[in-house]
Structure 1
Amino acid sequence: MTVVGTVASIHRFPMKSMQGEQLAEVEIGPDGMVGDREWALRDIETGKLVSAKRPRPWRAALDCTATGLDDDVEITMPWGDVFHVHDGGLAVALEALFGRSVSLERSERRQQGTYDSEWPELEGITLSGDIELPTNLAGEGRGFIDLGVLHLLTTSSMATLEAEDDDLVVDVRRFRPSIVVDTPGLDGFPENDDWAGATLRIGRGDDAVEVSIGIPTPRCIMTTVAQQDDLPRQPGVLQAIARLNRRTDELGTFACLGAYANVARPGTVRAGDEIELV
């Protein structure tokens, strides 16, 4: 087996479309990362899930941070107030943030729902305009996921994007990966070019994780919006991805960065773990 990288960082997002937490280690179950996208908000008026892929009115979700697991998730608001997920004051605070009433939902297996998304018009890219999409489109896993239970992103991909334009702020928050893979010495987009369809082993020993690499991760307007106080709005991020790494599969042609993955063998992932191509 060939070592292709190491785990640079692990990211879990307890609430869909909010900031998450960086972890030293995490359990990976058959349905993906335990506790990831376990919660979501629902717009009471429309019945649709809240997604920052529709920046108006939901971009502000990215200014909130969710941490914790199961029923112990806490939400930190942009102004610093912290609410437990079952605190009645949270709904009031969220209504003040969005100007709309929302409810909180915890996921069930193969959670279904729809959300509105916005796709900037880019020549040759399949989707544009306002699109209503389902969650859990792949039909696997648990929680409020989109197309894959895990999302891997290499440092090579981010470096390639950054080299395209010195003015781009290439920040991991724009891309929301489960695992960032440090790939020194590799160029381009190895998760799409070299690992597609392959199995990666993460860690060693009895609790090593194996994942099967799936389709490239399609990118939308969410990569371009401002987040928190220090990440600016940059439409050029998505435009650069479209120039560098457009991919075509059964769903169409998309600007892609990163790759989705499914779990072949559950276990534990730790920061610093070696990753091998099986």
Structure 2
Amino acid sequence: MTAAGSVVQVSVYPVKSLGGRTVREAEVGPAGLAGDRAWTVVDATTGERVTVKTCPQMAEVVATGDDEADTITLTEVLGRPVRLRRSGQPQVDAAAVHLVSRAAVARAAAGDVPEGCSADDPRANLLLDLPEGEDERTWVGRTVRLGEVEVSVTRTPKHCLGVYAEVRRPGTVRVGDRVEVLPS
């Protein structure tokens, strides 16, 4: 087992495409962090999903947890009637959990940013502090323990920082939890 740092931030994005909120801990199940991307924004007239890709201003809105207030805010920001719809499963793009290190954020701030990615908001579930020289991108194909949770790192994102992972062992992840890369 290789010690690879600690969890320094846990973020949940309750509404797909909106800003997230940090929490001290989160339950992690097979589909990801509890409450993460549990709601989607849909056009109130057509019922079609509205995302940050077509409406970038959505990323500036942080869900409050009050569905009515969030709907009013989004309608004002987008200039058209929308509503929130509960999703059956979290609406993730590629994997259950998105991990990003502080080193990746620093590389992005220095200009090493994938096309289409925001260095200011990597939209990660877990921000990690890793020892100097450690790079989460080398974890693809490996199992990583985050406190009591174990994830299998599946790939690097095309348009984001960090890595994507699937949950192997559910549990609770907390700020301060140790991060360990397990032997192959």
The question of a shared fold, defined as TM-score above 0.5 by the shorter chain, is answered with yes
Shift of 1:95: 2.3
Match of residue 158 from structure 2? 218
Shift of 1:258: 1.2
Report 1:109-258 matches (<5 A): 142-164=89-111, 170-171=119-120, 174-186=121-133, 190-192=135-137, 194-203=138-147, 208-219=148-159, 256-258=160-162
> CA, structure 1 residues 92+19, in 2 after alignment: closer, same or farther (shift >3 Å)?
closer
Tell me which of 249, 255, 265 is aligned to 2:169. 265
> CA, structure 1 residues 13+91, in 2 after alignment: closer, same or farther (shift >3 Å)?
closer
Question: CA offsets, 1:185-218, max 9 Å, x none?
Answer: 125xx222x2011000111xxxx10000011112
Q: Normalising by the residue count of structure 1, what TM-score does the alignment of the two structures yield? A: 0.59
Q: Which has the higher contact order (CA 8 A, sep 6+)?
A: 2
> CA, structure 1 residues 6+91, in 2 after alignment: closer, same or farther (shift >3 Å)?
closer
**Structure 1: 5+ residue runs without aligned partners?**
68-72, 74-83, 109-141, 220-255
Question: CA offsets, 1:132-188, max 9 Å, x none?
Answer: xxxxxxxxxx211111111001112122222338xxx942xx21000011113125x
Is contact 1:29–1:263 with CA below 8 Å preserved after alignment? yes
1: CA distance between counterparts of 2:24 and 2:45?
39
Match of residue 84 from structure 2? 104
Shift of 1:48: 2.6
Tell me which of 51, 57, 62 is aligned to 2:59. 62
Report 1:80-99 matches (<5 A): 84-85=66-67, 87=68, 90-99=70-79
SS in 1 for 2:131: coil
Structure whose alpha-carbon radius of gyration is higher: 1
**Structure 2: 5+ residue runs without aligned partners?**
113-117
1: CA distance between counterparts of 2:13 and 2:126?
12
1: CA distance between counterparts of 2:162 and 2:95?
12
Q: Normalising by the residue count of structure 2, what TM-score does the alignment of the two structures yield? A: 0.87
Q: Which amino acid aligns with 2:63?
A: A
Shift of 1:90: 5.0
2: CA distance between counterparts of 1:272 and 1:90?
31
Shift of 1:33: 0.3
Match of residue 11 from structure 1? 11
> CA, structure 1 residues 164+93, in 2 after alignment: closer, same or farther (shift >3 Å)?
closer
Q: Which amino acid aligns with 1:25?
A: E
2: CA distance between counterparts of 1:4 and 1:93?
40
Shift of 1:92: 4.3
Is contact 1:197–1:212 with CA below 8 Å preserved after alignment? yes
Is contact 1:156–1:184 with CA below 8 Å preserved after alignment? no
SS in 2 for 1:156: helix
Question: CA offsets, 1:96-144, max 9 Å, x none?
Answer: 2212221210011xxxxxxxxxxxxxxxxxxxxxxxxxxxxxxxxx211
Match of residue 277 from structure 1? 181
Match of residue 35 from structure 1? 35
Is contact 1:201–1:276 with CA below 8 Å preserved after alignment? yes
2: CA distance between counterparts of 1:267 and 1:162?
32
| C-alpha RMSD over aligned residues | 1.9
SS in 2 for 1:161: helix
